[in-house]
Chains A and B, each alone.
Chain A
Amino acid sequence: MTASSPSGTETHGKSGLPLSRRRGRGLRTVALSVVAALALAACGTRPSESAAAGGDTGKPIVVGISLPLTGDFAQPGGEAKRGYEVWRDMVNAKGGIMGRKVELKITDDASNQDTVVADYTKLITQDKVDLLLGTFSSLLNYAASAVAEKNGMVFVEPAGGAPNMFERNFKYLFFAQPATAPHQADVFVNWIKSLPEADRPKTAAYPSQDDPFAKPVIESMQKQLEGLGVQTVYSEVYPADTTNFQTIASNLASKKPDLVAQGAVFEDGVGLVRGLKQLNFSPKMLFQTSAPSNAGQYSDGVGLANTEGVFYTVSWNEKATTPLNTDFVAAYKKAYNADPAEDAADAFAAAQVLQTATEKVGSIDQNKIRDWLHGNTVDTILGPLSWEATGEPKGQFLLAQWQSGKVEVVAPSDVATSTTVVNPKPAWK
């Protein structure tokens, strides 16, 4: 019970002088501090004017980024930070962009939408950074890209391939991965097409986590494979917090499909393999979206011997022969004494995109950079990237397979690291 006490009215003028004097002093203090605060903050220019400013050529180029370094997306956020930093060091070692050093201004958005909006607003309008790079996860990139769009800043995002992202007709948005989720499966479908009719799967099951990156992959794969005459015997979307895969596994075991294609983020991929193994049902082909790309964790989870023959699609591979890839891998290993993750590579590629465009147009004029990216192709460690007007990429993912405890790229053939494909998958061990 404090100021909420409602019985105030009748006491208003009750105690005359001392109170009003004391109150007067308090009020003066408040009023003064208010005026001071207002005066102090009164400065700044219109956002539209500041964004168009060219920038001083002597100073470093500042790239503003907000990343989820803590919270739910801390894992990919941390990898992205490494990817960006490796890029900065490599660029600065070669003299920077247009002769100017590159500086990164990275803030933590704690995996929170509010914070990511505030962060990018601050980076653009307060810190007046020269360039922007994107953050991780669609959840954050949706909100962040809208801030960039409002402020007319080019926004190259290393993640955030949910299809809705590109239905907004943003003009400054570019997704620096080879394909969006619905097109991730294309490379696998093409490989199936290349098989002789007899070797193709006859029946298929499609369990998928309800995840904006996993589900569209599996949905589009199901559609395409049905077009090829593969019969669907099971199709089910399970929630993200599913921890018990025995019911799915026993359903699959009873239907015995040739192909199990799972939209698996990570733990669900491991969980289903375990469930299938318990029931001793091993499909001829097993495809999982991104779970198997978590190299060590995945093989630990399912057992190294059981990884044999598992397919997945991925945007990047350590062994890929794309330009600068070996340099990136080496620099990363040197800096962090670990194998680079896909997320780090994606971030690196996003930075490459921005770098190339800036160098080509020879300025940090955002509209020029945007126009150049819409009309050209950029070579990155993920391969060549180009974009639709909506910022959606036009490329293709890599099809990878676990072989003898290692990951090999098996398609498309021009970047494949192995010519053999394990098919059918051996039984569980």
Chain B
Amino acid sequence: MSRLRALPRAHLIAGLCLVALLLYPVVNPWQPYPQGVMLLAFLLAIQASSWNIVSGYAGYISLGHSMFLGLGSYTVGVLAVRFGVNPLWVAPLGGVTAVIIAVLIGSVVLRTRGHAFVIITIAMLLAAQIFAVNLKGITQGSDGITLELPFWDRDFQNIPFYYVYLILLVLTVLFSAWIRRTKFGTGLVAIREDEGKAASIGVNTTRFKIVAYAASSFFIGMAGGVYAYYLTFINPVGSFAILGSVTIVLATLTGGRGTLYGPVIGAFIVQVVSEAATVYGGGSQSRVLLFGLALMVVVLFLPKGLLPTIEAWWRRRHPEKVEYTDQAGALNRAPATTTERVRAELAAVNAEDAIAPGEILLDVRGVSKRFGGLTAVDNAGLTVRKGTITALIGPNGSGKTTLFNLISGGMAADSGEIWFDGRRIDGMRPWRRGHLGLGRTYQVTRLFKEMTVQENVVAPLPDSRWRTMFSDAVGGHEAARARELLDIVGLGRFANQPAGALSYGQQKLVELAQVLMLEPKLILLDEPAGGVNPSLLGQLTEVIRELNRSGVTFLIVEHNIPLVLDLCDPVVVFSHGAPIAEGPPERIRTDPLVLDAYLGDDWRPAEDGTADEGAGESDRAETATREAVQ
């Protein structure tokens, strides 16, 4: 709550600072030096805010971001020399070049997850330098490009640059704020928090990352164009210097990575401190050493950055009452009022479907998955019919979760086919499957803990349209729908809590609400009852039934046998990577094969409490084994 309350305050302070900065050259026009220092701070802030989009929001670190400044400078420099245009008028083209290069690099490097990106960003910075040196016909090689002096009267020498950079900075911050408000921004944070999970809720992680990289390059490229004019000379060594990237990283980290104003604050601090070091330091110390030390100190002792640390301190000093952290609060919130509307909505979705109830919705045909010598799923076949709540039970390690991963696209099957809603999906990326109406929850919940509950629910994307991607995640119909879904699972009151603060059971319910945002036809629930207390469990089953009545099909992995027998029909029993029995619950509970393989002779419904606990424990063991196998 306090964080939200701090928000308008932050905007107000920022606005005041902006007014002061706008007035400064008017009040004090004949001071090119302080104006020069300030405009360099603006430039650094533009770069830091932009870097923050890909490296702060999405968590993909770029160590070569100053490359875009150089690209912008060169674009504008070359155009200005070739066609004699004033660099200022073509500065936006610097941004365009930066975006094109970012998209090209991004579409090679960002297709996969992980570490290649950071390596490539350094390599590309150095490669850009080599290109600038060697493409002599365009760049004049290491001689560099010389530009004319600014056309305005020398009395105003720095003032125009000051305002151009200030305006660019405002635009950059507004752009960054807008991104963070959209589902695109929510998706980026989701990628940072848990990329695999993000993909499973319909976030096209490849596209999101590439767009983020491109978005983080535009304003830097444009600023680079202006920068060339400011310096009147550009060459490969100066334009593609790695120290420039270091300052960007340092500024953002100091201020607060992933925040809106942190990079700006950090940029001002770094710029002013390094200028002070130049003026008062007497040149005894190496700047590389200073920056390196500062970077290490920030990473080790201030990893979140100044702004979040100060905010945390402020919140500790001014604690706010948190409403409804108890479960009773959640439970009192009756979902009854909203279900009708949702049901109508879901029904509308279902009306478009070609497949009538009772037909096969999910068809797994002869699928296998091996980890080294271990065959987790062995030529398994499984069908889920439309409108059912199908259960998948079986001993630990029998391959149920692996099968879920194969269906949702988290892993690729070694052989076999998976069909969903009349389409073959086993070659599709996870988000495509999500867009087709396939949602899942996880054995151990995987909410984005740094986000609020509502953001978690807004994050999923039901389709691949750009309009959806850039729709408002804070207000508007997406947010309204998220609150509605939270009400359905009875957690509307927690909308603005950080997801990590909820109890485990509540997190399971939020994860279900999250999946509902995908407008799914089929939901895969991986042990929904595990670790959930009885009162919440009742609510959970109620929600599942309600949704099923409105047309959603379920496939549930669950160890709580009474729950399964009560809720599901049919029941599929899995053992050693393949189904061994299938049928209505009353037949399964008496099937000798099933009793032998899983339930055991002495299985009685009365023991469900202990069975539940045991299942929870063995879950963990299964998880561990699975990871070990990987």
Contacts and interface: CB of A to CB of B under 8 A. Distances in A.
User: Do A and B interact?
Assistant: yes
Interface of A: 1-12, 14-15, 19, 23, 26-27, 30-31, 34, 37-38, 41-48, 67, 69-71, 107-110, 112-115, 117-119, 121-122, 125-126, 138-139, 142-143, 146, 149-152, 162-165, 167-168, 210-212, 215, 239-240
Nearest to A181: B143
Interface stretch (B449-457, B564-572, B601-609): B449-457
Contacts of A70: 283, 285-287
Contacts of B140: 164
Interface string B1-16: 1011111111111001
Contacts of A38: 20, 23-24, 27-28
B231 A2 contact: no
A48 B29 CA distance: 13
Given A107-B279, A150-B157, A210-B142, A125 B287 contact: no
A23 B452 CA distance: 24
Given A3-B260, A121-B36, 6 more contacts: A6-B185, A12-B8, A30-B16, A114-B40, A212-B142, A240-B142
B258 A1 contact: yes
Contacts of A19: 5
Contacts of B120: none
A108 B276 CA distance: 11
Contacts of A2: 3, 6, 256, 259-262, 307-308, 311
A1 B154 contact: no
Contacts of B4: 5, 7-8, 11
Interface stretch (B94-102, B202-210, B233-241): B233-241
A4 B10 CA distance: 10
Contacts, number: 218
Nearest to B455: A7
A125 to B, nearest CB: 5
Interface string B223-249: 000000011110101100001000000
A143 B7 contact: no
B283 A108 contact: yes
A152 B154 contact: yes
A167 B145 CA distance: 11
Contacts of B20: 34, 37-38
11 contacts: A3-B6, A4-B180, A7-B474, A41-B34, A48-B154, A67-B283, A107-B279, A110-B287, A114-B40, A121-B32, A210-B142
A47 B235 CA distance: 29
Contacts of A114: 40, 231
Contact of A125 (B32, B130, B454): B32
B10 A164 contact: no
B415 interface: no
Contact of B283 (A44, A107, A167): A107
A37 B272 CA distance: 15
A49 to B, nearest CB: 9
Nearest to A167: B146
A110 B278 contact: yes
A150 B154 contact: yes
Contacts of B134: 210, 239
Contacts of A121: 32-33, 36, 157-158
A139 B154 contact: no
Interface string B280-297: 011101111000000000
A23 B496 contact: no
Given A23-B9, A43-B28, A210 B133 contact: yes
Interface residues of B, number: 87
When A and B form their complex, which 9 residue pairs have the shortest distance between CB atoms, in order from nearest? A108-B283, A142-B233, A8-B7, A69-B283, A4-B260, A3-B10, A34-B20, A44-B30, A6-B181
Interface in B437-464: 450-452, 454-455
A41 B23 CA distance: 12
B31 interface: yes
A428 to B, nearest CB: 31
Q: Which of A3, A109, A138, A164 has the most CB of B within 10 A?
A: A3
Interface in B502-546: none
B269 interface: no
Contact of A31 (B16, B259, B262): B16
B275 interface: yes
A215 to B, nearest CB: 8
Given A15-B5, A168-B146, A27 B12 contact: yes
B580 interface: no
B33 A118 contact: yes
Contact of B16 (A12, A34, A43): A34
A11 B144 contact: no
Contacts of B454: 7
B451 A1 contact: yes
Contacts of A210: 133-134, 141-142
Contacts of A34: 16-17, 19-20
B278 A113 contact: no
Contacts of B498: 1
Contacts of A10: 475
A395 B185 CA distance: 62
Contact of B157 (A15, A47, A164, A167): A47
Interface in B30-84: 30-34, 36-37, 40
Nearest to A8: B7
Contacts of A109: 278
A181 B427 CA distance: 62
B124 interface: no
Contacts of A126: 31, 33
A325 B19 CA distance: 58
Contact of A115 (B6, B23, B278): B278
A161 to B, nearest CB: 12
A7 B37 CA distance: 35
Nearest to B318: A22
Given A27-B16, A46-B155, A146-B232, A122 B146 contact: no
B66 to A, nearest CB: 12
